[in-house]
Amino acid sequence: MRTLFLNPPSFQGFDVGASSRWPATRLPGETPGTLRKTIDFAKHLDTETIQVSIAHALPGTELHQYGAQNGLINLSMSDDAGHQLPNITYTGLDDAELVDAVERFYGEYYFRPRVLWRLIRKAIFNSSERHRLAKEAREYLSLRSNRKRFVVEQRKAAAARVAAD
């Protein structure tokens, strides 16, 4: 198994704490284009597993200092339903886009023939792996459904705000 310690260009100049060890979204200068490049980069490396997180500006990090200096820090890192949300705001990407980007990242990474075959091949020959995979698949599909629902609700709320203005 290979472990990926990702340090894409969008991390340069920022100590983001533990998030710097996994693909993270929502750093200064992040755009839909840099999100796309990060997804493509991870797919190219083709590691055994990935964990994707929205970057958080943790107190004591340079990212938190940057956010505080620019009035970008939010108080909450998750909503009432437990969705991981950014605690730092940037123009050009809203919470719905970021949650959707995390889901796209997982979907594009794991739902590729090569990765699916790798997972299924292990499950065919190993019953404990089969049970683990079935459990994780159920949990992931439930989380995926909740994330998609969150994105739809956030986009509807944003459209209602625009219509009210």
**Banded pLDDT at 8 (limits 50, 70, 90):** very low
- The answer, as to whether pTM is greater than 0.85, is no
pLDDT per position as a tens digit, 127-137 = 999 999 999 99
pLDDT per position as a tens digit, 100-110 = 888 999 999 99
**Banded pLDDT at 82 (limits 50, 70, 90):** low
Higher pLDDT pick, 110 / 2? 110
- DSSP one-letter string for 94-162: -HHHHHHHHHHHHHHHHSSHHHHHHHHHHHHH-HHHHHHHHHHHHHHHHHHHHHHHHHHHHHHHHHHHH
